[in-house]
């Protein structure tokens, strides 16, 4: 980074936004295999927050790759850069006083830890959407596992690219055992417990 770049302090800060919004702000980081239910659960949580007049937003893996991260592939270095960028964007949302839900496979523990480290200790909730590979393959909503098994997609997480299970997430959702709505309610309960809402 250039030494000529200086951080510009704004007249309205995170504390001001939180006071105006009447809520805490931070990042709910949903991680898990493709097909585990991350995006669906994040959408359900976001709708519940919206209906409760809580300022929130979703950053979804596929949607982000249509724009901000369109130029990134799926090799390890690209995956790390993908998560680094999302972490920085999520931090901006937290700074604006909003709760941001992220739904990304984010397969590497070190990448998730990096996002945690750039936020304040009370601004990051890692949520592992834990669904066995076999169940994700049965769901296969986008047909990606079939393509990966046929060799049409290389370096697919869970097939020929690793997924590192979170070491100490704030919440584990067993999306193969509970409905997506029940999983969303678990996140809402966590937010209440942490006094984010």
Binding residues for ATP: 32-39
User: CA-CA-CA-CA torsion for 121, 115, 130, 74, nearest 10 degrees?
Assistant: 180
Given phi > 0 = left and psi -120 to 50 = alpha, else beta, which region is 101?
beta
- Among the listed residues 90, 132, 134, 94, the one whose alpha carbon sits nearest the alpha carbon of residue 112: 90
Longest Cα–Cα distance of the chain, Å, equals: 55
DSSP secondary structure of 74-101:
SSHHHHHHHHHHHHHHHHHHHHTT-EEE
Report the half-sphere exposure of 137 (CA within 13 A, side-chain side): 12
Give catalytic status of residue 2 as yes or no.
Answer: no
- C-alpha–C-alpha distance, residues 78 and 186, integer Å: 32
Given the residues 2, 106, 168, 181, the one annotated as active site: 106
Do residues 184 and 45 make contact, with C-beta atoms less than 8 angstroms apart? yes
Tokens coding 138: 């049965």
Binding-site residues from annotation: 32-39
**46-51 contacts at long range (C-beta below 8 A, 24 or more positions apart):** 46/101, 48/184, 48/188, 49/99, 49/188, 49/197
By annotation, the residues acting in catalysis are 106
């Amino acid at each position: 980074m250039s030494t000529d770049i200086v951080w510009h302090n704004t007249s309205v800060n995170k504390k001001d936004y939180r006071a105006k919004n009447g809520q805490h702000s931070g990042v709910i980081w949903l991680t898990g295999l493709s097909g585990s239910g991350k995006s669906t659960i994040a959408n359900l949580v976001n709708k519940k927050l919206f209906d409760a007049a809580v300022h929130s937003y979703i950053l979804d893996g596929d949607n982000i790759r249509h724009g901000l991260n369109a130029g990134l592939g799926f090799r390890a270095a690209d995956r790390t850069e993908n998560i680094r960028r999302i972490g920085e964007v999520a931090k901006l949302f937290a700074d604006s006083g909003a709760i941001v839900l992220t739904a990304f496979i984010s397969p590497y523990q070190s990448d998730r830890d990096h996002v945690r480290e750039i936020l304040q200790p009370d601004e990051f909730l890692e949520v592992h959407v834990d669904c066995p590979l076999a169940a994700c393959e049965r769901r296969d909503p986008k047909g990606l596992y079939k393509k990966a098994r046929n060799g049409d997609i290389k370096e697919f997480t869970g097939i020929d690219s690793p997924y590192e299970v979170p070491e100490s997430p704030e919440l584990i959702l067993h999306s193969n055992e509970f409905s997506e709505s029940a999983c969303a309610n678990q996140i809402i309960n966590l937010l209440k417990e942490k006094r984010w809402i």
